[in-house]
Structure 1
Amino acid sequence: MTALAHTGAAAGPDPLPLAAVAVLAAGYLLAVSRDRRGWRRRRTVAWLAGCAVLAVALGPLAAGPGDPRVHMAQHLLLGMVAPLALALGAPVTLLLRVVPPPVGRRVGRLLRTRPVHVLAHPVTAALLSTGGLALVLLTPLYAAAERNPVLHHALHAHYVAAGYLLAWSVAGPDPAPRRPRPAVRAGALLAAGAGHAVLAKYLYAHAATLPPGLPDRDVEALRAAARLMYYGGDVAELLLATALFAAWYHRRRPRRPARSAATPPSGPAPGREPAALSRCTRSRPSTAA
Structure 2
Amino acid sequence: MPAQGRDAGSGLLEGVVPALVLLAVAGGYLLLAHRARRHNPALGWSRRRTTAFLTGTALLGLALLPPLARLAHEDFRGHMAQHMLIGVYAPLALVLAAPVTLLLRTLPTARARQLSAVLHSPPVRVLAHPAVPLALSTGSLAVLYFTPLYNTTTHSPTAHWLLHAHFLLSGCLFAYVIAGPDPAPSRPGVRARLVWLGVAITAHSGVSQMMYGGFWVDIRAPVPQVQAGAEIMYYGGDIAELLLAAALVATWRPEPRRPTARQRALRAEGSAPS
Query: TM-score category by the smaller chain?
Result: 0.7 to 0.9
- What letter is aligned with 1:227? E
Give deviations 1:134-158, integer Å, cap 9, x for gaps.
1111111111111110110000010
Counterparts of 1:79 and 1:139, CA distance in 2: 19
State yes or no: 1:234 paired with 2:242. no
Counterparts of 2:21 and 2:150, CA distance in 1: 23
Counterparts of 1:245 and 1:75, CA distance in 2: 26
After TM superposition, the score normalised by the length of structure 1 is 0.78
Counterparts of 2:151 and 2:227, CA distance in 1: 17
Work out which of the residue numbers 101, 113, 117 in structure 1 matches 2:121.
Answer: 113
Give deviations 1:163-195, integer Å, cap 9, x for gaps.
100100000000111211111111111101110
Structure 1 residue matching 2:224: 3-state secondary structure: helix
Counterparts of 1:64 and 1:152, CA distance in 2: 14
Name 1:179's counterpart in structure 2.
187
Contact 2:145 2:218 in 1 (8 A): yes
Give deviations 1:77-119, integer Å, cap 9, x for gaps.
1110000000000000000000000000000000001110111
Contact 1:79 1:162 in 2 (8 A): yes
Counterparts of 2:147 and 2:71, CA distance in 1: 26
Contact 1:122 1:188 in 2 (8 A): yes
- What letter is aligned with 2:197? L
Counterparts of 1:147 and 1:69, CA distance in 2: 17
Contact 1:127 1:192 in 2 (8 A): no
Name 2:141's counterpart in structure 1.
133
Counterparts of 1:184 and 1:14, CA distance in 2: 41
Counterparts of 2:54 and 2:48, CA distance in 1: 10
After TM superposition, the score normalised by the length of structure 2 is 0.83
- What letter is aligned with 2:163? L
Instruction: Give the 5 Å matches for 1:90-109.
Output: 90-109=98-117
Name 1:274's counterpart in structure 2.
none
Name 2:29's counterpart in structure 1.
28
- Larger mean CA deviation between 32-41 and 67-76 belongs to 67-76
Once the two structures are TM-superposed, the CA of residue 253 in structure 1 deviates from its matched residue by 9.3
| Count of aligned pairs | 239
Instruction: Give the 5 Å matches for 1:1-289.
Output: 13-35=14-36, 36-37=39-40, 38-60=44-66, 61-64=68-71, 66-206=74-214, 210-212=217-219, 214=220, 217-248=221-252, 251-252=253-254
Q: CA RMSD in A?
A: 1.9
Which segments of 5 or more consecutive residues in structure 2 lack a partner in the other structure?
Answer: 1-10, 257-274
Counterparts of 2:20 and 2:142, CA distance in 1: 29
Counterparts of 2:107 and 2:63, CA distance in 1: 31
Dislocated runs of 4+, deviation >6 Å: none
Give deviations 1:225-245, integer Å, cap 9, x for gaps.
111111111001100011011
Contact 1:122 1:166 in 2 (8 A): yes
Report which of the two has the higher share of helix.
2
Counterparts of 2:58 and 2:247, CA distance in 1: 20
Give deviations 1:255-281, integer Å, cap 9, x for gaps.
xxxxxxxxxxxxxxxxxxxxxxxxxxx
Bigger radius of gyration, 1 or 2?
1
